[in-house]
Amino acid sequence: MNQQVLVIDDEPDIRELLDITLMRMGIDAVLAENITQAKNILASQSFDLCLTDMNLPDGNGIELISHIQQTNPNLPVAVITAYGSMETAVSALKAGAFDFISKPVDLKHLRDLVQSAFKLPSSSKTSSGPAEPISSEAKTNKILGNSNAVALLRKQVTKLSRSQAPVYIHGESGSGKELAARLIHELGPRSDGPFIAVNCGAIPSELMESEFFGHKKGAFTGATENKEGFFQAASGGTLFLDEVADLPLAMQVKLLRALQEKSVRPVGEQKEVSIDVRILSATHKDLAKEVDEGNFRQDLFYRINVITLNVPSLRERKEDIELLASKILEKIAQEWQMDQIQLDPTSMTALKNYHFPGNIRELQNILERAYTLCEGDVISPEDLQLPSTTNASTLDETQVDISEIEALDDYLESIEKKAIQQALEETRWNKTAAAKRLGITFRALRYKLKKLDME
C-alpha cells in the first residue's frame, strides 16, 4: 500500500501542485480545505505525514499541530509558510512541527522534506511494534548515568530526534554536548546521512566562508580545485556547529542567510547551491548574554535557538561519577590491552568531592594519568593528583593590606599571573582550555602570557 499524506490548504492551485508532486513520487494524497475538514479526515484515516498551510479559513497551522500532538503524536506535521515569514516558521517548529517549507513551494525542498519524514521511526502507519523503541533506548544509553538529570537528557534527545527543528545545545566544556548532538542525528530520519561536526572557534576568519560554503577553482590564490564546504558535505545529514558563539559577526550574517534560504553560494561561483541539512549548534558560553553584549546577532540566535537542550555538568550528576569512572577505566584497559584496575574507596570519595571544572573530559584525563602512575592494581588518591580546590574567588577581598601595595599595576599583574597559572594547571597546560576557563580568547591568553613573561 502506498504511503499517504494529508494535504491541507485553502488555495486550490497549491493543493493541486502538491497532489501532482506527491503522485509523481508514488505517494497518495488526501486533500482538505480547512482545519475542520482535516480533523474529520484524521479521525477516520491514518497517515504518514501531514502537510498543512499555516493560515487557513477557520484557524492556523499551530492549532492543528497541537491537535495532532494530542491525538497522534507519532504523525509528523510540516507547515507551509508565507515567503520570508521566518518568525511563523519558528513558532511552528516550537509548537512541535517536524519541518517547514516556504511559498512559493520549491519542489526539490518538498521532496527532501517528504522523504525525511518517511524515514522517521514509529510513524502512524509503519510502526512494527516495540523493536524501534528498544533500539532507541540502546542508543540513548550511550549517555552513561542513572541520575535524574541523565534520564531527562535521554528523554529530550529522543524527542528532539523526531523533529527537523534547529537545536541549540548548551553546556559546559567537556559535559558531552557533541555526544548529545550525535545521538539526535543517529535517532532521527537523517541517520543514514553524514554527521559533520565543526569547531567554529578553530577556523581562521579569512578561510571561514570557503570552509562553510566551498569555493570554485581559481576563486582566490591557492584555490587550485573546486572544494565543497561543510554545508555541501553534510547534505542529507546534520551539520553540528560547535562553539557557535565564536563565529565573527561577518560570518554570522552569511550563515543566517544560508539557513533562511536553504542555499549557499560557493566563493567565486555565480549560482547558489541548494542545501538539505539539519542544524545543531552548541557553545559553553551564555549565548543570550553574547547577544546582549553585541557579540552575537539576535536574528541568528532566534534562528538556531528554536529548541534549547541543556546538558548537565558533572557537578549536577555526581551520583554518576562511580559508573563513569568504572566505564572509563574499562575502556582504558581495553585500548591498552592491560588488566583493569580499580579505585579504592578514598579515591572515589575524592573524585565525588572534586568540583570538576572540565566535567567528563577532565574525569577521563585524570583517570588516564592515574592509570599510568598507579603501581599496583588499585588507584590511590595520590595517583589521581587532583588539583587544589583552593580558588582565587574564595579569598576575602576585605583583607587586602593597601599599605603593602607599592604599585597598583604590579599588584594586579601578580593576581592575573596567579589566575592564569591556576587555569593552566587545572587544564593540564592546555592553553585553549585555559583560555575558555578564564573567559578570554586564545589570542588574548597568548598575548598575556607573553606580556607577563610566562611563556
The CATH number of whichever domain residue 361 belongs to comes to 1.10.8.60
pLDDT tens per residue across span 371-395? 888 878 899 999 898 876 444 444 3
Q: Are residues 240 and 363 in the same domain?
A: no
The whole-number pLDDT of residue 196 equals: 96
| Residue 242, beta-bridge partner list | 199, 282
Residue 391 lies in a domain: no
Domain boundary among 310, 336, 371: 310
Residue 110 lies in a domain: yes
Asked whether 188 and 140 are in contact (CB, 8 A), the reply is: no
How crowded is residue 90: how many other Cβ atoms within 10 Å of its Cβ?
20
Q: Which tops the pLDDT comparison, 308 or 121?
A: 308
Residues 6 or more apart in contact with residue 393 via CB below 8 angstroms: none
Kindly report the three-state secondary structure assignment for every residue of the chain.
CCCEEEEECCCHHHHHHHHHHHHHCCCEEEEECCHHHHHHHHHHCCCCEEEEECEECCEEHHHHHHHHHHHCCCCCEEEEECCCCHHHHHHHHHHCCCEEEECCCCHHHHHHHHHHHHCCCCCCCCCCCCHHHHHHHHHHCCCCCCCHHHHHHHHHHHHHCCCCCCEEEECCCCCCHHHHHHHHHHHCCCCCCCEEEEEHHHCCHHHHHHHHHCECCCCCCCCCCCECCHHHHCCCCEEEEECHHHCCHHHHHHHHHHHHHCEECCECCCCCEECCCEEEEEECCCHHHHHHCCCCCHHHHHHHCCEEEECCCHHHHHHHHHHHHHHHHHHHHHHHCCCCCEECHHHHHHHHHCCCCCHHHHHHHHHHHHHHHCCCCEECHHHHCCCCCCCHHHCCHHHCCHHHCCCHHHHHHHHHHHHHHHHHHHCCCCHHHHHHHHCCCHHHHHHHHHHCCCC
The whole-number pLDDT of residue 409 equals: 65
The whole-number pLDDT of residue 311 equals: 96
The whole-number pLDDT of residue 123 equals: 46
How crowded is residue 350: how many other Cβ atoms within 10 Å of its Cβ?
16
Asked whether 237 and 221 are in contact (CB, 8 A), the reply is: no
Is 133's pLDDT higher than 80? no
Please give the grid coordinates belonging to residue 190: 537523517
Residue 389 lies in a domain: no
Domain boundary among 356, 384, 412: 384
Mean pLDDT of 208-220: 88
Residue 245 lies in a domain: yes
Is 218's pLDDT higher than 90? no
The whole-number pLDDT of residue 170 equals: 94
Q: Are residues 114 and 200 in the same domain?
A: no
Is 226's pLDDT higher than 90? no
pLDDT band of residue 48 (cuts 50, 70, 90) is very high
Please give the grid coordinates belonging to residue 360: 567528563
Domain boundary among 65, 85, 118: 118
The mean pLDDT of the chain is: 87
Q: Are residues 290 and 324 in the same domain?
A: no
Domain that holds residue 430: 402-451
Residue 395 lies in a domain: no
Residue 125 lies in a domain: no
Q: Which tops the pLDDT comparison, 396 or 10?
A: 10
The CATH number covering residue 101 comes to 3.40.50.2300
Mean pLDDT of 141-148: 92
Distance CA 132, CA 26 (A): 26
Q: Are residues 417 and 356 in the same domain?
A: no
The CATH number covering residue 146 comes to 3.40.50.300
Asked whether 199 and 242 are in contact (CB, 8 A), the reply is: yes
Return the residue matching grid coordinates 557553545: 283
pLDDT tens per residue across span 333-367? 888 888 888 999 999 999 999 999 899 999 999 99
Mean pLDDT of 77-94: 82
Is 179's pLDDT higher than 50? yes
Q: Are residues 372 and 226 in the same domain?
A: no
Q: Are residues 256 and 285 in the same domain?
A: yes
Q: Which tops the pLDDT comparison, 290 or 390?
A: 290
Q: Are residues 181 and 300 in the same domain?
A: yes
pLDDT band of residue 73 (cuts 50, 70, 90) is confident
Distance CA 132, CA 149 (A): 24
Q: Are residues 91 and 170 in the same domain?
A: no
pLDDT band of residue 405 (cuts 50, 70, 90) is low
Q: Are residues 303 and 376 in the same domain?
A: no
HSE, side-chain direction, 13 A CA sphere, residue 144: 14
How crowded is residue 409: how many other Cβ atoms within 10 Å of its Cβ?
8
The whole-number pLDDT of residue 26 equals: 93
Q: Are residues 75 and 191 in the same domain?
A: no
The whole-number pLDDT of residue 414 equals: 83
**Percent above pLDDT 90 for the chain:** 53
Domain count across the chain:
4
The whole-number pLDDT of residue 20 equals: 95
Residue 447 lies in a domain: yes
The whole-number pLDDT of residue 223 equals: 77
Distance CA 373, CA 368 (A): 9
Residue 239 lies in a domain: yes
Is 396's pLDDT higher than 70? no
pLDDT band of residue 2 (cuts 50, 70, 90) is confident
pLDDT tens per residue across span 244-254? 999 999 999 99
Q: Are strands 278-283 and 238-242 parallel, antiparallel or unpaired?
A: parallel
254: Cα separation from own chain's centroid:
19
Is 134's pLDDT higher than 80? no
pLDDT band of residue 132 (cuts 50, 70, 90) is very low
Cis peptide before 121 (omega within 30 of 0): no
Q: Which tops the pLDDT comparison, 259 or 443?
A: 259
pLDDT band of residue 397 (cuts 50, 70, 90) is very low
The whole-number pLDDT of residue 339 equals: 83
Mean pLDDT of 95-120: 88
Q: Are residues 153 and 268 in the same domain?
A: yes
CA distances from 86 to 54, 90, 256, 401, 447 (A): 12, 6, 11, 58, 42
Distance CA 115, CA 124 (A): 15
Is 59's pLDDT higher than 50? yes
Q: Are residues 43 and 94 in the same domain?
A: yes
